[in-house]
């Protein structure tokens, strides 16, 4: 069996959903468009909270800025109104504007009165800087790639060096897209699903903690031996990478509770060795699929009983565990990529083929 076929370690005591992915939250789908051609190593990843028209049937959401070195679009209105009205898009830093324009055009095509009789749409695009592997100045991502990612959205989620994760790096090795889920039981036997999807482009090699094991020093030593840069996402001595953390749940939560949920992703992030470095844009967004909020005032608002705050702790644990697991999956599934000017990021399991056995050893 190839080392790539080894099963990643399971984080925590909660059970995962059947796919161990954000799409275990019913209705959520994920799609990628990947550009992998010489110096262009980038792409788009789209998360759709439901299969309908998000502009007309918005979902409740809230965000937490863990460290604000980022250039996302749409967070101000999410903070104010607490809703998502487009698919959530991930891409590289210089492609944010192009993807936001694609979201606006997509919304207008489906809703010709947007910006006329109906309100303007709030595009929602998150980014990380993939400029070490990707020729980010080429601004290769466009409308067709965003639309392609939307068209490809489904329940099965590819991980690693795909979509927006194609050119991303973490802990001196290849990073990218990772996802995971956890099932959380609250009072009276009610069970809810929490799913996480990350765009991992952060961390220095020596800092890496994987499933509770501080493997960073060994990783840094091996990278140094192969003359691979042991820095973070952008390949410099100071960490200047980022991570985007998306959290989905089917629990009936309001925007205040969703903000609290999004903040708990920082607990899972910290477990991997992140210190939320000065140049790292660490941004989390959480949304619920339990109900939708109509765009048009003539339509009735939902009448739904929210989860009591006293019952929310199991969801907090599910967020922390699924976030940590998603980061592990991003590292575990990624392949080696060579891009701009011959820059290269090796797969973690290529640098450390003995990692599965190291993790299976009993901690002294």
Q: Which residues are catalytic, by number?
A: 242, 280, 282
Q: Residue 7 contacts by C-beta under 8 Å, 6 or more apart in sequence?
A: 356
**Distances from the Cα of 239 to the Cα of 126, 247, 361, 362, angstroms:** 19, 24, 30, 31
Q: Residue 104 contacts by C-beta under 8 Å, 6 or more apart in sequence?
A: 121, 123
Distance CA 364, CA 348 (A): 24
Closest to 243 (Cα-Cα) out of 266, 259, 220: 266
- One-letter-per-residue 3-state SS of the chain: CCHHHCCCCCCCCCCCCCCCCHHHCCCCEEEEEEEEECCEEEEEEEEECCCCCCCCEEEEEEEEEEEECCCCECHHHHHHHCEECCCEEEEEHHHHHHHHHHHHHHHHHHCCCECCCECCCCCCEEEECCCCCCCHHHCCCCHHHHHHHHHHCECCCCCECCHHHCCCEECCEECEEEEEEEEEECHHHCEEEEEEEEEEECCCHHHCCECCECCHHHHHHHHHHCCCCCCCCCCCCCCCCEEEEEEEECCCCCHHHHHHHHHCHHHHHHHCCCCCCCCCEEEEEEEECCCCEECCCCCCCCCCCCCCHHHCHHHHHHHHHHHHHHHHHHHHHCCCEECHHHCEECCHHHHCCCHHHHHHCCCC
């Amino acid at each position: 069996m190839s080392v790539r076929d080894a099963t990643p370690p399971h984080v925590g005591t909660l059970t995962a959903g059947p796919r161990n992915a954000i799409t275990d939250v019913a209705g959520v789908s994920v799609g990628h468009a990947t550009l992998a051609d010489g110096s262009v190593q980038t792409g788009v990843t789209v998360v759709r909270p439901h299969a309908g028209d998000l502009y007309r049937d918005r979902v409740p959401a809230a965000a937490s800025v863990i460290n604000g070195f980022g250039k996302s679009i749409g967070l101000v209105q999410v903070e104010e109104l607490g809703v998502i009205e487009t698919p959530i898009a991930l891409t590289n830093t210089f492609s944010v504007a192009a993807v936001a324009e694609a979201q606006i055009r997509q919304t207008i095509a489906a809703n010709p009165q947007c910006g006329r009789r109906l309100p303007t749409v709030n595009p929602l695009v998150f980014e990380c800087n993939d400029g070490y592997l990707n020729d980010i100045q080429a601004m290769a991502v466009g409308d067709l790639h965003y639309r392609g990612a939307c068209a490809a959205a489904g329940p099965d989620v590819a991980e690693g060096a795909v979509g927006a994760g194609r050119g991303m790096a973490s802990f001196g090795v290849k990073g990218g897209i990772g996802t995971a889920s956890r099932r959380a039981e609250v009072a009276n036997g009610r069970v809810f699903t929490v799913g996480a999807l990350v765009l991992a482009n952060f961390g220095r090699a020596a800092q890496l903690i994987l499933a509770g094991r501080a493997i960073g020093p060994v990783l840094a030593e091996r990278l140094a031996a192969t003359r691979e840069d042991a820095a973070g996402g952008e390949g410099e001595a100071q960490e200047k990478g980022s991570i985007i953390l998306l959290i989905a749940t089917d629990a009936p939560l309001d925007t205040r509770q969703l903000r609290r949920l999004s903040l708990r992703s920082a607990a899972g992030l910290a477990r991997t060795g992140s210190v939320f470095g000065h140049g790292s844009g660490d941004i989390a967004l959480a949304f619920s699929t339990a109900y939708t909020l109509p765009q048009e005032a003539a339509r009735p608002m939902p009448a739904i009983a929210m989860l009591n705050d006293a019952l929310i702790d199991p969801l907090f644990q599910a967020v922390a565990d699924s976030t940590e697991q998603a980061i592990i999956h991003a590292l575990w599934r990624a392949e080696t990529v060579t891009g701009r000017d011959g820059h290269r990021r090796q797969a973690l399991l290529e640098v450390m083929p003995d990692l599965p056995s190291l993790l299976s050893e009993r901690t002294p």
